[in-house]
Amino acid sequence: MPLSPPAEREKLHERTIVLEGFRRADGLFDIEARLTDTKTYAFANEDRGEVRPGEPLHGMLMRLTIDAELTVVACEAVTEHAPYAICPAITPNFAALAGLRIGPGWMRAVKERVGGVKGCTHLVELLGPMATVAFQTTVVLRRNRPADPAKPPALLNTCHAYAADGPIVARRWPQFATPRGETAAGDAGTDAVLETAGRRTRR
């Protein structure tokens, strides 16, 4: 179902982010991202002259290579389009992410290594959704592992669909279902999903 009809308006900006996960022949996984920003109007830029409608203002790519435990083996970043000529010079810094493990505290660790003047705002922003795509990509490794019936499922209460007092949990994991209205409130954001990934990959 689409959104409701908007008010009369003029489109000014478009950002597209494409995220993909791949299993490599060597057993590692590649998580790739592309971010593109465009405007619908032309404007002057000191380093590039005129940026035309539809021409990327920002065009960034990144590849995280990870192992089955969600540890970063390598990180490669490229800036194809930026508002300043100096921007691409910082991309080699993202190789410093090698050795980090995707899990709780991921973004904090990322910002310690490539945050602020040590990195690029847009490339750093990509590393949050790339982490959740890493989890989704490596689900294939965990899909057929037998679950411990005594342990609550890692997805329990991480979102509306997996609320302990909802119909999905009642159907899939009835032993962990609770009466309507007794689900504990909480924020099931990116860190919760990554913590889920961390618990399952350590099994």
For residue 162, give both structure tokens: 């997996």
In this prediction, residues 129-138 reach a mean pLDDT of 97
Within 8 A by CB and 6+ apart from 44, the residues are 50, 51
Q: Quickly tell me which residue has 């000191």 as its tokens.
A: 46
For 143-160, how does the pLDDT look when each residue is reduced to its tens digit (9 = 90+)?
Answer: 777 778 889 988 899 999
For 162-183, how does the pLDDT look when each residue is reduced to its tens digit (9 = 90+)?
Answer: 999 999 999 999 999 998 877 6
Q: Is the pLDDT of residue 115 over 50?
A: yes
For 9-53, how does the pLDDT look when each residue is reduced to its tens digit (9 = 90+)?
Answer: 999 999 999 999 999 999 999 999 999 999 999 999 999 999 999
Is the CB of residue 60 less than 8 Å from the CB of residue 78? Answer: yes
pLDDT number for residue 56: 98
For 181-200, how does the pLDDT look when each residue is reduced to its tens digit (9 = 90+)?
Answer: 776 554 444 455 555 445 54
Is the CB of residue 137 less than 8 Å from the CB of residue 21? Answer: yes
Q: Quickly tell me which residue has 């890493």 as its tokens.
A: 134
